[in-house]
Amino acid sequence: MRRKEISIQKGENVLLDGPSKLEVLTGEIEIYGKILKRGENVIVRKDKRVAIIPHVSSTLRITSGRFFLTEDEVIPSNWVKTCERVSELRRGESALIIGKADSGKSTLAIYLINKLLEKKERIFFLEGDIGQPEIWVPTTISGIFLERGVIDLEGYFPSFMEFVGDITPRKVYRRNIRLITFLNKCGKEEAPVIINSDGWIRNGGLEHKIKLARQLNPQFIISFLSERLNSDFKEIGRVIEVNRPKYIKRRGMEERRKRRIRKYWKAFSSAVLDTIEIKDLKIELAEIEREIKYEKVRKVFERDKLRGILCGLYGEGKCIGVGRIIEMNEGSITLSVNYIKKEKIEGMVLGNIIIDSEFNEWRVSWEDKIV
């Protein structure tokens, strides 16, 4: 495994591509608002790039990964000004981040979280990107209370989770807005909320974001969009326009798909195999948001070979996990489950995404099959 020690001076910014391990041997550095001092280290995952800012002359040990110096501004000046404005957020208030895919929304969210935690005891982060979530599984949104700074939210366990049922809001936009609004309410009862959104902007996506913003009514709307596209948001809340850093990686469709596969694998390769009785089990379709009879669902499941379809599991009115259906029998359902809380399953919401044995995905439409 390749290791290298490098010395950097204040004013020299470094970009590091994972997978890698970074150790601070001397000095002090900052990564997205989080301070790392001598003896501290961080793991940078495979598909992530981090920007390192030395506060003083520092020596770093880098294991694997690719690193290089950059003269570009790694934290745009309007990000710093945004933090100053957003720092006034109080419990019961929120800031919504909007922008196209690969604009830097998740990176800005982490930077805001770290900077706000310098002044506040805790922050609630709401991950509203169902296609490329930082937390949990694609098809879900989640929220987490944070009291310490972070560099990467991958692997964090959510405080709340909801199953939306697709990897884009196009077919489930009402459910998407309703559940993000619900989690926002859960979080802001205890802390200021930072909300990340998906990158769907074209072909109806902008209208979806406007509806989402109206429903959330945030104190701030932090936008990577153009001034022209921001005009409708200015009627809803205070809009702060920010720039996309040059170093943010642009990921193609295939790279995004592979990242989702890794997340599915992580969620279901060690999932619990469970069998639930369909007696008194309430079944809904995410796409249509209405209850449907089990025998009707089972007939479509067998006819169209829908083994592997993802579902949200509910108990006591809360989402308690995500399942992948293996079999639908006459009186029971067998599925692999990743629980966030083990409780009796009382309800199930069937999504539009099927995961095969190799964790590849494809979409189905229940509306075409049942309605």
Per the domain annotation, does 249 fall within a domain?
no
Looking at residue 275, its pLDDT comes to 93
Do 113 and 233 lie in a common domain? yes
Do 31 and 84 lie in a common domain? no
Per the domain annotation, does 257 fall within a domain?
no
Do 48 and 95 lie in a common domain? no
Range picked from 105-114, 148-157, 251-260, 340-349 for highest mean pLDDT: 105-114
- Tell me the pLDDT tens digit for each residue of 335-344: 999 998 888 8
Looking at residue 252, its pLDDT comes to 87
Report the number of distinct structural domains present in the chain: 3
Per the domain annotation, does 255 fall within a domain?
no
Do 43 and 132 lie in a common domain? no
Statement: residue 369 has pLDDT above 80: no
Q: What is the DSSP string of 301-346?
A: HHHTT-TTEEEEEEETTEEEEEEEEEEE-SSEEEEEEEESS-----
Q: How confident is the model at residue 98 (pLDDT cuts 50, 70, 90)?
A: very high
- From the number of C-beta atoms within 10 Å of its C-beta (0-12, 13-18, 19+), residue 63 rates as middle
Do 177 and 162 lie in a common domain? yes
Statement: residue 122 has pLDDT above 70: yes
Q: Which residue has the tokens 């997205």?
A: 32
Statement: residue 140 has pLDDT above 80: yes
Q: Strand, coil or helix: what is 200? A: coil
Per the domain annotation, does 218 fall within a domain?
yes
Tokens of 160: 């709340």
CA atoms within 13 A on the CB side of 181: 14
Do 51 and 108 lie in a common domain? no
Mean pLDDT value of segment 22-29: 98
Statement: residue 371 has pLDDT above 70: no
Per the domain annotation, does 180 fall within a domain?
yes
Mean pLDDT value of segment 231-253: 91
- Tell me the pLDDT tens digit for each residue of 186-235: 999 999 999 999 999 999 999 999 999 999 999 999 999 999 999 999 98
Looking at residue 250, its pLDDT comes to 84
3-state percent breakdown (helix, strand, coil) of the chain, nearest 5: 25, 35, 40
Per the domain annotation, does 66 fall within a domain?
yes
Select from 197, 194, 226 the least CA-distant residue to 211.
197
Tell me the pLDDT of the chain averaged across its residues.
94
Q: How confident is the model at residue 365 (pLDDT cuts 50, 70, 90)?
A: confident
Q: How confident is the model at residue 108 (pLDDT cuts 50, 70, 90)?
A: very high
Q: Report whether 6 contacts 15 (CB < 8 A).
A: no
Do 21 and 92 lie in a common domain? no
Do 43 and 85 lie in a common domain? no
Do 200 and 284 lie in a common domain? no
pTM: 0.94
Q: How confident is the model at residue 97 (pLDDT cuts 50, 70, 90)?
A: very high
Looking at residue 280, its pLDDT comes to 83
Beta strand pairing status for 290-291 and 282-285? antiparallel
Question: CA 197 to CA 201: how far, in whole Å?
Answer: 11
Answer with the residue of higher pLDDT: 369 or 248. 248
Statement: residue 161 has pLDDT above 80: yes
Do 8 and 112 lie in a common domain? no
Q: Report whether 33 contacts 111 (CB < 8 A).
A: yes
Per the domain annotation, does 275 fall within a domain?
yes
Is the CA virtual torsion 20, 26, 29, 35 positive or negative? positive
Looking at residue 2, its pLDDT comes to 84
Q: Of the ranges 78-87, 243-252, 276-285, 321-330, which one carries the lowest mean pLDDT score?
A: 243-252
**Residue 206 belongs to domain spanning:** 77-241
> For residue 327, what is the domain's CATH number?
2.40.30
CA atoms within 13 A on the CB side of 252: 1
Q: Which residue has the tokens 């391990």?
A: 21
Q: Which residue has the tokens 């793991």?
A: 43
Per the domain annotation, does 229 fall within a domain?
yes
Do 61 and 90 lie in a common domain? no
Do 219 and 316 lie in a common domain? no
Looking at residue 200, its pLDDT comes to 96
